Amino acid sequence: MSTPAQREAATAALLVSRAKAGDASAFGDLVRRYRKRIFALALHLSGSASDADDIVQDVFIRAYKALPQFEGRSEFFTWMYRLTLNRAFDARRSRVRRSESSIDEYDPRIEASLEVDLPNDPVKAAELRQTYARVLRALDALPPVMSATVVLVALQGLSHAEAAIVQGCPVGTIAWRMHEGRKRLLEAADEKPRRHVVSEHLGRLLEEAGMPFRELELLEA
């Protein structure tokens, strides 16, 4: 029996094949299938919702134009992620040159995370807002390739092997980047992570990239 990941890959491969044969609706299906993930990746790497929108549009245009050269040696989503990383790095460098890289407590990444984590609890949301802002400052202060690794693994849920394919580096490099990124993010939290602080979405930067949940429970004891 095939796994969900294998079924996903098979569906994407079929859509790519149809799109390469001239089926415009198949490429539209690919856009609908992957746009949300590509936007989330672009948002976390660029720190700007408007930049993320531009990145998504540009990435899918580039993908459409380059589709005839896509040979399928890697999965479609890893190819799209590579395109997104390159475009997001460009946007991030541009924002730094324009001195627009400051993070406040109403950063769009924080707002999106709070909508998922605590939509009906303004008190806890206020507590998380400050923690998330500190973590995002630390995330954005990481070297771009390390920041991308943390986002791919901790927020996008890629395995170390998948992240290595996307970033074109050995699996051991991914492991080292996660270890170093984890240390800096936990230092940025400025407190021992607790279950009421570490929630479902952006909190994974402290949980999945930091400490296993069982360790968080022990810290509360």
**Residue 170 and residue 64 share a domain:** no
| pLDDT tens digits along 108-134 | 787 777 776 666 677 777 777 777 788
CA–CA distances in Å: residue 28 to residues 15, 17, 31, 53, 174: 9, 13, 5, 17, 32
Residues 4 and 75 occupy one common structural domain: yes
Do 23 and 119 belong together in one domain?
A: no
Residue 126 CB: number of other CB atoms within 10 A? 12
pLDDT, tens digit, 9 for 90 and up, residues 11-59: 999 999 999 998 989 999 999 999 988 998 998 888 888 889 999 999 9
Does residue 94 sit in the same domain as residue 159?
no
Q: What is the pTM of this model?
A: 0.76
Residue range of the domain that includes 10: 1-100
Q: What is the domain-level CATH number for residue 14?
A: 1.10.1740.10
Residues 81 and 40 in one domain: yes
Instruction: Indicate if 69 and 130 belong to the same structural domain.
Output: no
Give the separation between CA 13 and CA 198, rounded to whole angstroms. 36
Could you tell me which of 62, 14, 2, 8 has the C-alpha nearest to residue 34?
8
Sign for the pseudo-dihedral over CA of 182, 188, 189, 193: positive
State whether residue 141 is helix, strand or coil: helix
83 with 166, same domain? Answer: no
Give phi and psi for 106, each to the nearest 5: -115, 25
User: How many structural domains does the chain have?
Assistant: 2
Same domain, residue pair 146 and 87: no
Domain match, 167 and 204 both = yes
- Mean pLDDT across the chain, nearest whole number? 78
Q: What is the CATH number of the domain that holds 212?
A: 1.10.10.10
Angle at 98 between CA 112 and CA 80, to 5 degrees: 50
82 and 128 within one domain: no
**Tens of pLDDT, residues 131-163:** 778 888 888 888 999 999 999 998 888 999 999
Q: Which of 49, 83, 100 is the last residue of a domain?
A: 100
* End residue of a domain, out of 68, 100, 132: 100
